[in-house]
Structure 1
Amino acid sequence: MDWRKRMSDNIAYALLVYTGLQIFVTIHALKAGSTSLLPYLALVVLVAAIIPACRMFESRWIGISDEAAADPALRGPFRRDAILLWMLAIGLPFVLTGIFKGIAAIA
């Protein structure tokens, strides 16, 4: 088992899920009658936010040695990072779009 490859795969799938959710959430916000530019701004902010997060996760795992990449003792840290990655990928579109919708409602 190569933890580097597994993290890379998780990042790729999380980005696909994140992008799909972000498109869905943004389109839903636009259909809800938002005439401001805030949903588009939310889309830009969310894209800008996820890329550094994914790079952080990948850089943590890509730099480990071949021996460490096969070390079963890294299962715990891998699971922690994978869970955090998926929480960001699934939760971030809803949280930030909700914030932008709240700002639009106030303005």
Structure 2
Amino acid sequence: MAKAFDRNDAHSHVSGTRKLDWRKRMSDNIAYALLVYTALQIFVTVGALKAGSTSLLPYLALIVLVAAIIPACRMFEARWLQISDESAADPEFRSAFRRDQMMLWTLAIGLPFALTGLFKLIASFA
């Protein structure tokens, strides 16, 4: 029974260690990054609205950010889902994974602040 479970579960704990799967790790990172991104976006947009912005720019920023992050996340995920089962556990992918992970988190954390700042700058000239 344990062997059947081990074959079917990519993250089995039967042997005490988790099987490496870069695809699963990237999917997990994307899910967490989207949660952080959404929380930051709400925080930054609400902050812009409380700061007395009477324009529609914070709302436009929210729409642009939602429209921007979804294709970016799909791009990251699609790249990793193309990896074969054998390659998914290959330690050689560590540097590529870390590169994509850093880019993903930079976007998730930086994009809400950057675009909201840009829209606030535009609003200050209007």
Q: Same fold (TM over 0.5)?
A: yes
Q: TM-score, normalised by structure 1?
A: 0.99
Residues 43-85 of structure 1 show CA distances to partners (whole Å, capped at 9, x for unaligned) of 0000000000000000000111001100000000000000000
SS at match of 1:10: helix
**Superposition pairs for residues 6-85 of structure 1, below 5 Å?**
6-85=25-104
What corresponds to 2:21 in structure 1? 2
Q: TM-score, normalised by structure 2?
A: 0.85
Larger Rg: 2
Matched, 1:89 2:121: no
Q: Share of identical aligned residues, percent?
A: 79
Structure with bigger helix share is 1
Q: More relative contact order in 1 or in 2 (CA 8 Å, sep 6+)? A: 1
Uncovered stretches (5+) of structure 1, i.e. residues with no partner: none
Residues 74-101 of structure 1 show CA distances to partners (whole Å, capped at 9, x for unaligned) of 0000000000000000000000000000
User: Considering only aligned residues, what root-mean-square deviation do their CA atoms show, in Å?
Assistant: 0.3
